[in-house]
Amino acid sequence: MSSILVISPFVMEIFPKNCPFYKGIPIIAPVNFDTTRASDDYKGMKLIFARHTETDWNKIGRIQGVTDTHLNDKGRADAVILADRLREFNIDRIVPSSLARAKETAAIIGNVLGIDRIEPDGRLVECSHGKIDGMTHKEVKEKFQKDYVVAESARQEYDFGPFGGENRAQVLAREHALLTDLKNKYPAETVLLIGHGRAMNTLLGDLGIETELTRGNFLVLDR
């Protein structure tokens, strides 16, 4: 078994009071997880997984996918908070998705923590939902009805191919390729990965981590 930390600056908004991780603000709780599905290739790596902070589309529930949206004022403020909570981890390098909202989150964190090694990578972008990108969840369900329901969970098989997007296997293939490259290039570094909801939770689920990563939270994986 390995361990991770679940850190949330917004615990009151995210976890119910009967949640075993509820320790006050901030929450810093050790979590055991099953690594039987994770590749041995990643042993010895120290990775921190975080999601970009808020955009206007997040606020109104519009599906972003690979649409290149930007942080709003709250997102920029939250990125500063996130940076402060990451301070103790002595991050060597930040690898954000190549989408603007992730790069902007990374730039703010890098500025606060004095990290200039920031390397955007397209393999960490959000899952493409095809023609669903740009729609609200309500609009999608009204237009596509049952065709969308089977694609909703990042923890299960999904396929946006019928809409011109990606499926779970395609998302995992590019993300695992990135982790392999990081292992080879920076084996002794602590690397912060900044990604997106569906794509990053797809990867975490495949690594055997059942904790859902939400905005404002990060997971520390020290294997």
pLDDT for residue 42: 81
- At 94 the pLDDT is 98
Q: Answer yes or no: is 30 within a domain.
A: no
8 located within any domain = no
Question: What domain count does the chain have?
Answer: 1
Question: Along the 223 residues of the chain, how does pLDDT read in single tens digits?
Answer: 344 444 444 332 333 333 333 223 333 333 333 444 455 678 888 999 999 999 999 999 999 999 999 999 999 999 999 999 999 999 999 999 999 999 999 999 999 999 999 999 999 999 999 999 999 988 988 888 766 655 556 677 888 998 999 999 999 999 999 999 999 999 999 999 999 999 999 999 999 888 889 998 899 987 6
Residue 1 in any domain: the answer is no
pLDDT number for residue 12: 28
The pLDDT of residue 70: 98
SS3 labels along the chain: CEEEEEEECCHHHHCCCCCCCCCCCCEEEEEEECCCCCCHHHCCCEEEEEECCCEHHHHHCECCCCCCCCECHHHHHHHHHHHHHHHHHCCCEEEEECCHHHHHHHHHHHHHHCCCCECCEHHHCCCCCHHHCCCEHHHHHHHHCHHHHCCCCCCCCCECHHHCCCEHHHHHHHHHHHHHHHHHHCCCCEEEEEECHHHHHHHHHHCCCCCCCCCCCEEEEEC
Record the pTM: 0.83
Residue 137 lies in a domain: yes
Inside any domain, residue 29: no
6 domain-assigned:
no
Looking at residue 218, its pLDDT comes to 94
Q: What is the CATH number of the domain that holds 187?
A: 3.40.50.1240
Range of the domain at 173: 44-222
